[in-house]
């Protein structure tokens, strides 16, 4: 099994029913809020070992990015819930958190001839225009993922909502590349 490195987890959450963004901006020291440029509060969380960024909207919804583990999303939401509730902001007891996208990378450990791989994987599942982009874009149906393959053997995988989906997708495509002779057994 190849090592998979999670580079970014993006999740959405409903933290409250609605927020006064001017108040949220005041509470979250270092946050940015300019409603003429963007209709949400931008806040970079740098407490408790977190290095995530959040967008908080008037609707009570938020988007969190920058995590390298799903648990960091949960910790970010818990942190914001704690900080905002201390300042008498109405937050939900159990915020609903949904992972939207996980971006991960891996190295297959062997260079790939992308022209041959493109033909082998089937032109209906790939996009490959080396004059415009040096990677091959592969769309996997099950699990539903998009993978970018590079001639070096490095792969960027996106679209997964669970780490297990990415692991399964990498295993599945690795097996297919071994069976077609593009990767050694």
Tell me if 184 is assigned to some domain: no
| Number of domains the chain is built from | 2
Query: Per-residue pLDDT averaged across 177-182, rounded?
Result: 92
Tell me if 114 is assigned to some domain: yes
Strand 145-149 with 136-140, pairing = antiparallel
- pLDDT bracket for residue 34 (50, 70, 90): very high
pLDDT above 80: residue 2: no
pLDDT above 60: residue 28: yes
pLDDT per residue over 160-171, tens digit each? 999 999 999 999
CA 164 – CA 24 distance, rounded (Å): 35
Range of the domain at 150: 108-179
pLDDT-above-70 percentage for the chain: 99
Tell me if 4 is assigned to some domain: no
Tell me if 74 is assigned to some domain: yes
Query: Per-residue pLDDT averaged across 26-51, rounded?
Result: 95
Model pLDDT, residue 157: 97
Query: Per-residue pLDDT averaged across 24-36, rounded?
Result: 96
Is the CB of residue 172 less than 8 Å from the CB of residue 183? no
Confidence (pTM)? 0.90
Residue 178 corresponds to which tokens in the numbers above? 């071994």
Is the CB of residue 118 less than 8 Å from the CB of residue 36? no
Buried b vs exposed e over 130-142: b needs ≥16 C-beta within 10 Å? eeeeebbbbebee
Where is 157: in which H helix or E strand?
Answer: strand 154-160
Strand 96-107 with 154-160, pairing = antiparallel
Query: Per-residue pLDDT averaged across 12-38, rounded?
Result: 95
């Amino acid at each position: 099994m190849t090592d998979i490195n999670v580079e970014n987890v993006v999740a959405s959450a409903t933290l409250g029913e609605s927020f006064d963004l001017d108040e949220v901006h005041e509470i979250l020291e270092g946050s940015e809020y300019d409603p003429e440029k963007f209709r949400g509060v931008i806040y970079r969380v740098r407490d408790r070992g977190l290095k995530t960024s959040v967008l908080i909207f008037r609707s009570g919804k938020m988007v969190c990015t920058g995590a390298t583990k799903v648990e960091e999303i949960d910790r970010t939401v818990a942190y914001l819930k704690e900080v905002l509730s201390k300042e008498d902001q109405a937050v939900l007891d159990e915020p609903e958190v949904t992972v939207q996208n996980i971006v991960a990378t891996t190295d297959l450990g062997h260079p790939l001839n992308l022209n041959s791989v493109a033909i082998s994987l089937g032109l209906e599942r790939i996009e490959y225009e080396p004059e415009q982009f040096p990677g091959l874009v592969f769309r996997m149906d099950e699990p539903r993922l998009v993978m970018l393959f590079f001639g070096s053997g490095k792969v960027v995988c996106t679209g997964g909502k669970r780490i297990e989906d990415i692991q399964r997708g990498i295993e599945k495509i690795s097996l297919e590349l071994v069976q077609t002779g593009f990767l050694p057994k």
